[in-house]
Amino acid sequence: MNSLANISEPSAPASGCCAPDVLSRGLFALAHPARIEILRYLSGVDYCCCKDVVCRLQLAQSTVSQHLKILLEAGLVRMSPQGQRSRYAVDREALLALSGAVGGLLNACAARADENGREI
């Protein structure tokens, strides 16, 4: 279906590691309490600036900026400079896409595909 549907390559687990695909990237971005909290906060407002998040979480501004960058690079959050501030907002479509991809993967694994070859 979409690009998020069939990830995590079937072969090519080369030397060091497997390729960090889009799904893994999204999951990694989600796999930190602070970033989950940021996402939940962002989802409750139309947009906000970095400072708002800093006031919300008890983290240094640079740390929050880093977390926002990770969410940004994972495509879960959008940003547009707004004067000296930055407008951060969740990308609701991306969240839905990730939700679908993760749900598809987990439900397929839980549903016991008849043989392993089944792509989700």
Partner DNA sequence: ATCGTTAATCGTCGATATACGATGAACAAG
Partner DNA sequence: CTTGTTCATCGTATATCGACGATTAACGAT
Q: Quote the DSSP letter at residue 118.
A: -
Which residues are registered as beta bridge partners of 88? Answer: 48, 79
Reference 30, options 87, 93, 120, 99; nearest CA is 99
1 binds, among DNA, a second copy, none (CB under 5 to 8 A by kind): none
- 100/94 Cα distance (integer angstroms): 10
In contact, 39 and 58? CB cutoff 8 Å: no
**Residue 57 binding a second copy, by CB under 8 A:** yes
**Residue 32 binding DNA, by CB under 7 A:** yes
Q: Which is nearer to DNA, 10 or 16 (CB)?
A: 16
**Residue 61 binding DNA, by CB under 7 A:** yes
Number of residues that bind DNA (CB under 7 A): 31
68 binds, among DNA, a second copy, none (CB under 5 to 8 A by kind): DNA
**Residue 64 binding a second copy, by CB under 8 A:** no
109: its two tokens: 């694994």
**Residue 55 binding a second copy, by CB under 8 A:** no
**Residue 51 binding a second copy, by CB under 8 A:** no
**Residue 102 binding a second copy, by CB under 8 A:** yes
Specify the amino acid at residue 38: I
